[in-house]
Amino acid sequence: MHLKQRKWWWALAALTVMLVPVLAGCSTQLAEYKPNEAVGPQVDYTITGIDAGAGEMATTQKAIKRYDLNKWQLQTSSSSAMTSTLGKAIKNRQPIVVTGWQPHWMFTKYKLKFLKDPKGVYGKAENIHTVVRKGLKHDKPEAYTVLDRFHWTKEEMSTVMLAVNKGADPKQAANKWIKAHQQQVNQWTAGVKHVNGDAIKLTYVAWDSEIASTNVVAEVLRSVGYKVTLQSMEMQPMWLPLPQRRRTHRFVPGCRTPAACTTRSIRVSSSIWV
C-alpha cells in the first residue's frame, strides 16, 4: 500500500475502557433505583447492546463468560435503539447497563460510568492515527500540513457529535466548534499558504464520530482555500480500493463489524481523495 503513517492523535489515546458496558446510575433519591441492592435483578440481568455483528457485542459475550456472569444476557438491538433506550431509562430514573464506547455523544449528554474490567477483556487503550499516501506532502503540502497537525479530544469531538444528533447541520456544527476553538485551529493552519481553489474530496463512513471529524477538517481546509467536496460511503467500498486510489486516510480505533477490522483492529474514519 502506498501509505505512510504520519502521526498519532495523542489526544484520543486514553481509551483504556473503550467498549466496556456502561452503567447509567441514578441517585439514592430515585424511587425506581435501589442503590443498596444489586443492580442485576433491577435490570433483569440484561445488557442492552447494539447490532449483532458489532465488535463490542462479541467482546461483551466474552466478558460474560470470563466474569462468570451466568445469569446475564446480552440483548441485541442497534446503536440508535440502544441510545433511545438509554435516554428513556435516565428520564424515568431507572438503572440500565449498555454497551458503550468513546468517542460518542451520549457521554456529553448523559452522566455515565464505565464499569471496571480488571481482566482486560476489552483490551488496552487504542489510538487514533493519521495516515497519508506517499507523495501527498509534495503534491498538496498545505493539505498535508493541516492533516498532520489536526487533533482534538474525544470531548471536543463529542460536542460536535451531540450537536448533529440534536439536528444541527454537520457543516454548521463544525463551524460553530471552530469559532469557539479558533486559537486551537490557528495552530493547525499556522504558516500554511492560502491555495487558490485546489480541489480535494473527503470520503467518509457515516458514523457520528467520522461525520464530526470530517466536517471539521473540511471547514479548516476551506479556510485555507481548498474547494472541498464530501462523499459518504459504506466501509467496504471505501476500504477495498485503497491500494489503487490516490487517497489520504484517517483511522479511528474500534471495529463495528468483523469485516471492518484490519489486523490492527482499526477502522476507517475518512479519506481524502487528492
Could you tell me if 69 and 174 lie in one domain?
A: no
Q: What is the CATH number of the domain that holds 30?
A: 3.40.190.100
Strands 96-99 and 113-114: unpaired
Residues 62-95 have pLDDT tens digits of: 999 999 999 999 999 998 899 999 999 999 888 8
Q: Which residue, chain included where needed, has cell 464499569?
A: 115
Please give the residue range of the domain that contains residue 75: 21-114
Q: What is the CATH number of the domain that holds 200?
A: 3.10.105.10
Contacts of 46 by beta carbon, 8 Å cutoff, 6+ apart: 72, 73, 74, 75, 97
Nearest to 208 by CA among 155, 237, 165, 238: 165
Residues 249-272 have pLDDT tens digits of: 443 333 333 333 222 223 333 444
Q: Would you call the peptide bond into 241 cis, given omega within 30 degrees of 0 as the criterion?
A: no
Could you give the percent of the chain with pLDDT greater than 70? 72
Kindly state whether residue 57 falls inside one of the protein's structural domains: yes
Could you tell me if 92 and 178 lie in one domain?
A: no
Could you tell me if 145 and 237 lie in one domain?
A: yes
Mean pLDDT within 152-167 = 92
Kindly state whether residue 142 falls inside one of the protein's structural domains: yes
pLDDT at 131: 65
Kindly state whether residue 81 falls inside one of the protein's structural domains: yes
267: part of which helix (H) or strand (E)?
A: strand 266-273
Could you tell me if 105 and 8 lie in one domain?
A: no
Residue where a domain terminates, one of 58, 91, 114: 114
22: part of which helix (H) or strand (E)?
A: strand 21-24
CA 60 to chain centre: 18
pLDDT at 35: 79
- If phi > 0 it is left, if psi is from -120 to 50 it is alpha, else beta; for residue 19 that is left
Kindly state whether residue 119 falls inside one of the protein's structural domains: no
Quote the CA–CA distance of 3 and 242 in Å, as a whole number. 9
Bridge partners, residue 128, by sequence = 9
Kindly state whether residue 120 falls inside one of the protein's structural domains: no
Bridge partners, residue 217, by sequence = none
Our separate counts of H helices and E strands in the chain read 11, 11
Quote the CA–CA distance of 46 and 104 in Å, as a whole number. 22
Kindly state whether residue 140 falls inside one of the protein's structural domains: yes
Contacts of 82 by beta carbon, 8 Å cutoff, 6+ apart: 48, 49, 50, 98, 99
Number of structural domains in the chain: 2
Could you tell me if 51 and 75 lie in one domain?
A: yes
Q: For the packed helices 141-149 and 182-189, what is the interaxial angle rounded to 10 degrees? A: 140
Strands 128-133 and 247-253: antiparallel
Could you tell me if 38 and 83 lie in one domain?
A: yes
Quote the CA–CA distance of 108 and 117 in Å, as a whole number. 22
Could you tell me if 73 and 203 lie in one domain?
A: no
Could you tell me if 264 and 140 lie in one domain?
A: yes
Could you tell me if 171 and 87 lie in one domain?
A: no
Residues 121-159 have pLDDT tens digits of: 988 877 766 666 778 889 899 999 998 899 888 889 999
Kindly state whether residue 165 falls inside one of the protein's structural domains: yes
pLDDT at 267: 35
**Length of the chain, please?**
274
Residues 186-210 have pLDDT tens digits of: 999 999 999 999 988 887 878 888 8
Kindly state whether residue 122 falls inside one of the protein's structural domains: no
CB–CB of 54/48 below 8 Å?
A: no
Residue where a domain terminates, one of 79, 114, 149: 114
Contacts of 141 by beta carbon, 8 Å cutoff, 6+ apart: none
